[in-house]
Each structure stands twice: as C-alpha cells, then as structure tokens.
Structure 1
Amino acid sequence: MATLTIRQLDDDVYDRLKRRAVANDRSVEAEVRQILGQSTFDIESWVAELRALHAQTLARDGLQADSVALIRAIRDEE
C-alpha cells in the first residue's frame, strides 16, 4: 500500500477531520482513508458491474414481470 504525507494542512481542517473521526469511531487516518476512498469511487466500473450482473440475471431467469402489475393483481384479489 502507498503512503501519503500531507504538508501544510490547515489546523481547522485537521480539527474538523478529528471531530468527524471521533463521531465515526475511527482514527483520523482511517477517516481520511474513508473520505479519499469515497471521493475517488469509480462509478463507471460500478455501472459496468451492475450491467454485467443484470445481463447474467436476464440470461439465467429471463425477463421478469413488472412488479407494479403483480402488486395490483395481488391487491385486487383481496
């Protein structure tokens, strides 16, 4: 894993990070890792994975009925 050093970090920023870390029951370092991980999330890869999962589900189960129509049918039977 890589190491990152941040120089000249404003004291107010560090204080806010520290408060956020305490609120999330993490160290400041763990909090910064979490923030960086979330802010660099690769949405395109995630969408590609979802599309692949959708294609696998369609191949396995076929096209499923519209849930709205099923819910209305169940409701109308009652």
Structure 2
Amino acid sequence: MPTLTIRNLDDRLKQRLRLRAAQHGWSMEQEARVILAQVLETPAQNDGAAWLQRVRQRFQGVAGDDWQPSDRREGTERELPHFDP
C-alpha cells in the first residue's frame, strides 16, 4: 500500500488532528485516512449539475407567474447624457 508524507503541516492543524483521533480512539494516521476517505468519496458539491439539481429542488413548486418586477424606478427616467467628442 502506498505511503503519503505530509510536510510543513501547521502545528495547530496537527494538534486538532491528534485531538480528533484521540476522541475516536485511534491513531492520527487512521484519523487522516478516515478524513480523506470521507472527503474524496463524497460527490463534489461544486459540480455544476449537482448545484442545479439543488436549486431545482429548493424552488420546486414555486410558480414564477405571480412575480412582479419592482416599480421603484418608475417615474425616475432621465435623459441620457450627451458627450461631445
């Protein structure tokens, strides 16, 4: 099985990994394996298709025909500026 070495690991990050491993009752190495497996085996949340599916689910059943644009600009029209060359 391949070996992975991580150099220049921030001391605070290493401490958090050590504490998390102790909470689970296993080594830091095992904790790192579990974290990597969880992150890499989970479908990417930044996938465009997955994002679109979440948006569709969020707004499912919402009708767009009752939406009215804001009238706040009504009556505030002004003449376009003219620029001399």
**Percent identical across equivalent pairs?**
47
Q: Within 2, Cα distance between the matches of 1:27 and 1:5?
A: 15
TM-score normalised to structure 2 length: 0.48
Per the alignment, residue 48 of structure 2 pairs with none
Deviation digits for residues 42-68 of structure 1 (CA, Å, limit 9, x no counterpart): 54xxxxxxxxxxxxxxxxxxxxxxxxx
Instruction: Choose between structure 1 and 2: higher helix proportion.
Output: 1
TM-score normalised to structure 1 length: 0.53
Detail structure 1 runs of 4+ shifted over 2 Å in the superposition. Answer: none
Number of corresponding residues: 44
Q: Tell me the secondary structure at the aligned position of residue 41 of structure 2.
A: coil
Per the alignment, residue 83 of structure 2 pairs with none
Q: Any stretches of 5+ residues in structure 2 without a counterpart? A: 44-85
Q: How does 1:1-78 map to 2 (within 5 A)?
A: 1-41=1-41, 43=43
Cα root mean square deviation, aligned: 1.6
Deviation digits for residues 4-53 of structure 1 (CA, Å, limit 9, x no counterpart): 0000000000000000000000100000000001111054xxxxxxxxxx
Per the alignment, residue 55 of structure 2 pairs with none
Q: Within 2, Cα distance between the matches of 1:25 and 1:41?
A: 23
Q: Tell me the secondary structure at the aligned position of residue 16 of structure 2.
A: helix
Larger radius of gyration: 2
